[in-house]
Each structure stands twice: as structure tokens, then as C-alpha cells.
Amino acid sequence: MIRKSVTLSLQEKIDKVRVRRGYGLSLSTPTFVPKSIKNISLKKFNIQGNLSGEKKLINLAKKYLFYHWKVKKNNQIDLLITSGAKAGLYCIFKVIADKFKQKNFGVVNPNWPTYVDLIKISGAKSFFFNTILKNNYEINLNSLEKFIKKKKLRILIISSPNNPSGKINESKAIERLINICKKNKCYLVIDESFSSHIFNEKIKGLCMNYQGEYLILVNSFSKNFHLQGLRLGAILAPKKLIEEFTNVHIAINGAPNYLAQNLIINNNESLLKTEDIKKKMNLVTSFLSSKRVEYYKPDGSFYLFPKILNTKKFRNLSNKKGLFYLNGKYFGGKIYSSHYRFCFEKKKSELKKIIYLMNKYSIY
């Protein structure tokens, strides 16, 4: 049986608390300032559109989502627009699982909990490779290669920027990881769903060459444009695989939403204009530092993954004061149970209220 989404479960809990108490705040999930978009036409409402996505949106995906990957013109690489990153990941997992008798997939922790659920429903089995705060969530590539060989992995998935730690793997590490996976005939899936939200200037301008038949990239318009409800993602992968991913995607979703695609095509510049997320991140890290809380300062994403000084006290005081969060165990098991996900992509007023309550009642 597939578990209920931990993030949606948290939101339902907060909604019930709001009815009872009048307010409830989430430490772990984003909230966005509503956007008003004028001149939306429904003339083409009944048009299904291109099964692989509209050409203009595919070009925008190259420009805004996969901008740091150089693809040679003669390279047999293609791009598929999907109904969100979740749908894209399911298509990838299902296609690769169906190719092999041994369906062992590796996940680098801490991880987005949905990976595990999608791997399960694709008929594969999850194996986990841990990274830790003490080592700044660096991947020990020698140990990882041994892990790939020992578990006979067919897929290794990492998120970069990582959800929940905010860690970005530098280009040299990624290039070596690509070669390790290619050598072991293991598909490397890199989830880059927060690629527009990068704070580390050393990493921001780096470009890499797309290489190898075993590299698959996933990204999200929804995350990068702050439009989760539109459910639009993208996959960049070898052309032969894209054809197979497309067949699965059509079977479960049909063509990607035509109206949602055109909303971004026609308004992409205005939709990208958001409140400075880096300032909000600095607001939170300054607070955590003042309380001597251990954390990794994010290279990107919406999230931090701080340690909890006293887990029992933190849980009891947070709930008592109307603050709710996702414990680190959901992002990779007991090894992360002394962490929690802190989302700083919120309205500043809400973020300041959270910090005020945490400070006033010593919730840290």
C-alpha cells in the first residue's frame, strides 16, 4: 500500500488546526504570494496540443530549466514536457524498471519522500546511500561506486539542489558520477527542480556537457515559476528513452496541459519575477546561527535541513504554539530524525512571525 503524501498530510493537519485555533503555521512547506495574470483566453480550451509538449515551452525549458547543460547539435538528446516532475519521474522509473529483471534503484539521502513512493509503484525496490551534515552532505564517490556495484543498481537518483538540505553537487563531482554510472550501466537521474533558485555564486555560472546514454535530467516549471498547481515538468534524456517516457506519459496523463503550457509561454518573464528568496534564506540562517543551531547553508532550493537541539522539547513546544513541521526521518530514515525541513519560501510577514514565535518560546 502506498503511503499518503507526507507534505499533503501536514497541510491537512494545519488546516484542521486553523479551524480550531484560528491559525497554524508550517515550518516545512512553501506559501506563495498569489499572482494575477490578465488576458487569459480559453479559445483553445479543447485543444490537446503536441503530445510531447509545445515547441515554445520546450525552448523555454532549455532556456530556463536546463540552461547549465551544453548539448551538442548532433547528440541524440530530446526533451519531453510532463504533467509535473512527479509524472516525469514515474515515467522514468516505470520504463527502466520494465527493462530489467533486477529492479534495484538507489536513492541518495536525504531525499524527497516522493522518490520512494514512485519507485514502489513502478515495481522497483529502493536502496539508500546516506550523506550527512558533518561532511556538508558531500557524496563519497568511491563509496557510492561500491554501493552501486554491490546493490546492482539500475537507477541512481539524486536531487541537486537537494530537497531538503539545499546542497548542490559541483560539476566535477557530477561529471565523475556520470562516468561511474555509465561504467556500471546504471542510469543517473538528476532532479534539478529548483535550478532557478541558486544562491552560491561559484556554482551559479557553471556549465556542464551533456554526455552519455545513462544520464537523465528532470526539472520543474512548477517549482521554478512558483506555480505548483499547473503541474508542468520536463525531462532531458537520450532520444530513444524520451520516446518510451512519452508513451508512458500519454498512457497516464495524455498530453501535458495545453492551457498551463501557454500560460507560461505568454507570461514567463513576469512569472519569474518573485520576491528575493536569498534575503529570506539569510533571515532564517541568521536566526539559526544566533541560536547556535547546526545547519548547512543552502546552495539553492526553498529549504534548510537544520538539526534539532532537543527533539522532544521542539516537537511539544512547536505543536503547542501552532507551528508544524516535517521531521527529518521522512527524508531518509532514523539517521535524520534529529533534523527537520525548514522552508523559507514564504511571505516575509509569515516568515517573521515564525521566527518571532520560535524565538519567544525558545523553540529551536
204: Cβ–Cβ under 8 A, 6 or more apart, which residues?
A: 198
C-alpha closest to that of 83 among 262, 234, 195: 234
Lowest-confidence pick of 67-76, 187-196, 316-325:
67-76
Q: Of all residues in the chain, what percent carry a pLDDT higher than 90?
A: 62
The answer to whether the CB of 285 falls within 8 A of the CB of 297 is: yes
Residue ranges and CATH numbers for the domains of the chain are: 6-28+275-360 (3.90.1150.10), 55-268 (3.40.640.10)
Cell numbers describing residue 220: 520543474
Beta strands of the chain (E only): which ranges? 25-26, 69-70, 77-82, 104-109, 125-130, 155-159, 187-191, 208-209, 215-220, 233-238, 303-304, 323-324, 326-327, 340-343
In this predicted structure, what is the pLDDT of residue 205?
67
Contact 194, 219 (CB under 8 A): no
Distance CA 274, CA 115 (A): 28
Residue 282: alpha-carbon gap to chain centroid: 21
Instruction: Work out the average pLDDT over 82-106.
Output: 96
pLDDT-based confidence at 3, cuts 50/70/90? confident
Question: 282-310: per-residue pLDDT in tens?
Answer: 999 999 999 999 999 999 999 999 999 88
Q: What backbone torsions phi and psi does residue 41 show, to the nearest 5 degrees?
A: -105, 135
Q: Distance of CA 179 to CAs 19, 166, 184, 268, 334, Å?
A: 53, 24, 9, 35, 31
110: preceding bond cis by omega (within 30 degrees):
yes
Q: State which of 8-22, 68-82, 163-177 shows the largest mean pLDDT.
A: 163-177
Range 70-74 contact pairs with CB under 8 angstroms and sequence separation of 24 or more: 70/207, 70/208, 70/209, 70/210, 71/210, 71/236, 72/209, 72/210
Band (pLDDT 50/70/90 cuts) for residue 274 is: low
| 15-19, 142-146, 336-340: least confident range | 15-19
DSSP string covering 158-208, please? EESS-TTT-----HHHHHHHHHHHHHTT-EEEEE-TTTT-B--HHHHT--E
